[in-house]
Amino acid sequence: MVPQKDGLIVNISSVGGLTYLFNVAYGIGKAACDRMAADCARELKRDNVTMVSLWPGAVKTEYIEENVFQEGGFMNRPKSQNIFKDAESVEFAGQAVVKLSEDSKRISKTGKILWVSDLAREYGFKDEDGDIHDSRSLKNILKATGYTWLPHLIPRFVRVPLALMHQAGNKF
């Protein structure tokens, strides 16, 4: 990519890089993906190579299907089912990568954390079910964390600002 003066490198990360999610190793790995994207972007930008960290929301993988929704799955409980009920397909993140690769101005995103749902809005694509599963939607966050009546009062377009998420990860 460097000799060609063009390229795109995408790390798949998650909110687990910002706050505890699943276990210690998961969080360390995701934080490292985010840091790697930021640091590599500094060195690769002069060669027009874009490096980003891509954050899907909750994703309904085969592993999740087996362990959350099937009888006997070790995560088969209401809280897990709430989180993954309206989850993204694995293809949704794939569409984001394709659209990024086609963007002639993608270098402006280098070093950043990019939400799949934000890219879906920017580039105009939807998940295979015709929806944009917005992980930053306050309504969706409240539903996933077990609130029952409160999400009905909040419009879907109310989203948690990125600056607030940054502050949530501030450790000083």
Residues designated catalytic: 26
CB 96 within 8 A of CB 127: no
Closest CA relative to residue 125, chosen from 88, 82, 163: 88
In degrees rounded to 5, what are phi and psi of residue 26? -60, -50
Strand order across the 113-115 sheet: 7-12, 49-55, 113-115
Q: What is the dihedral of CA 45, 118, 15, 47, to 10 degrees?
A: -10
Q: 58-80 burial by CB neighbour count: b if 16+ within 10 A, else e?
A: bbbeeebeebbeeeebebeeeeb
Residue with tokens 């990125």: 162
